[in-house]
Amino acid sequence: MKKVKINKKALALLTAGFVLTGCTGNATTKPKEEVKIETEIEKDNPKEEETKVIETKTLKTNRNFYVKEKTNLKDINGNAISGLDKYDVGREIEKIDNESKVKIKGKIGYVDSSKIDVLTGTYAIADISSQELKVYEGVKVLLETPIVSGKLSSPSTIGCFKIYSKTRNRYLKGPGYQSYVDIMMKYHNGEGLHDAEYHTDYDKNGKVIKRHGWRNKESFGGTTYMYHGSHGCLNMPHDAAIEAGKYLEVGDKVLVKE
């Protein structure tokens, strides 16, 4: 629909068609003045202002993760709740675009997804401070056991590694020692998971084949590592090491944290 807006002066001139002069009885036609007509066009369907819609993708997850680099746990408004150290472990609840909603250190908040690494499949987490190792499948705990880690002069290396070798019935050799183990799963520069408990192997007739090991069952966990720790390996009770070997394979992750 066109909307026409007409100048009032122009409208008066058009209506009269002429103007009277000062002489009585004489009427003259005054030359037409330029008529200014302003027009406004109003569209039938005015274009509405476009609104940009930002879509977010939310994915329910429920999976364990570890922190790849030091960062902060934040609230929904982006304010820092607490600091997170490298190799801290938590549970991812949701992934929202580039952020993850997580539960860690007893708190729920948000972290940049690029700062964490999700743990999937079968893997092990060894905690040096608690002297404990857990084997997981996803978030399910398959095995939980006390360990003895490296002594203060040769501490176990902190980090996330992958098992690269899995062997059985072998000797571990080093400067001043030679120790027989039933299973060894190496994950970093010779460091690995293996049995270390006093154990006797028997044949099917009950005859002693071999006695080996160097730790009492009661010595695993606690503060043993501080005064009688390993050369860097994670020593395990015999049965726990054998069970771990049923779950863990070459390529599986081993996370060693403090």
pLDDT digits (tens, 9 = 90+) for 196-227: 999 998 988 999 988 999 999 999 999 999 99
220: left (phi over 0), alpha (psi -120 to 50) or beta: beta
Average pLDDT, the chain: 86
pTM for this prediction:
0.77
pLDDT given at position 3: 47
Residue reference for tokens 């150290």: 85
Tell me: pLDDT of 27 over 50: no
End-to-end CA distance of the chain: 76
How many helices (H) and strands (E) would you count in the chain? Answer: 3, 22
| Domain of 15, in residue numbers | 2-41
Q: What is the CATH number of the domain that holds 70?
A: 2.30.30.40
Q: How many domains does the chain have?
A: 3
pLDDT given at position 46: 52
pLDDT given at position 56: 72
Check whether residue 97 and residue 136 sit in a common domain.
no
Check whether residue 138 and residue 224 sit in a common domain.
yes
Task: Give 81-96 pLDDT, tens digit per residue.
Answer: 999 999 999 999 999 9
Residue 57: pLDDT band with limits 50, 70, 90: confident
CB atoms inside a 10 Å sphere around CB 255: 22
Average pLDDT over residues 162-176: 93
- The token pair at 254 is 């081993």
Task: Give 129-152 pLDDT, tens digit per residue.
Answer: 999 999 999 999 999 999 999 999
pLDDT given at position 52: 62
163: in domain: yes
pLDDT given at position 210: 87
- The token pair at 142 is 């398959």
Average pLDDT over residues 119-126: 98
Residue 53: pLDDT band with limits 50, 70, 90: low
Average pLDDT over residues 87-115: 97
Q: What is the CATH number of the domain that holds 250?
A: 2.40.440.10
Average pLDDT over residues 175-197: 95
Check whether residue 127 and residue 209 sit in a common domain.
yes
160 close to 171: Cβ distance less than 8 angstroms? no
Check whether residue 144 and residue 244 sit in a common domain.
yes
Helix (H) or strand (E) holding 106: none
Task: Give 2-22 pLDDT, tens digit per residue.
Answer: 444 545 544 444 444 444 444
Helix, strand, coil share (%) of the chain residues, nearest 5: 10, 50, 40
- The token pair at 102 is 């997580």
pLDDT given at position 209: 87
Q: Which of 75-84, 115-124, 169-178, 217-226 has the weakest average pLDDT?
A: 169-178
Q: Which of 72, 91, 118 is the last residue of a domain?
A: 118
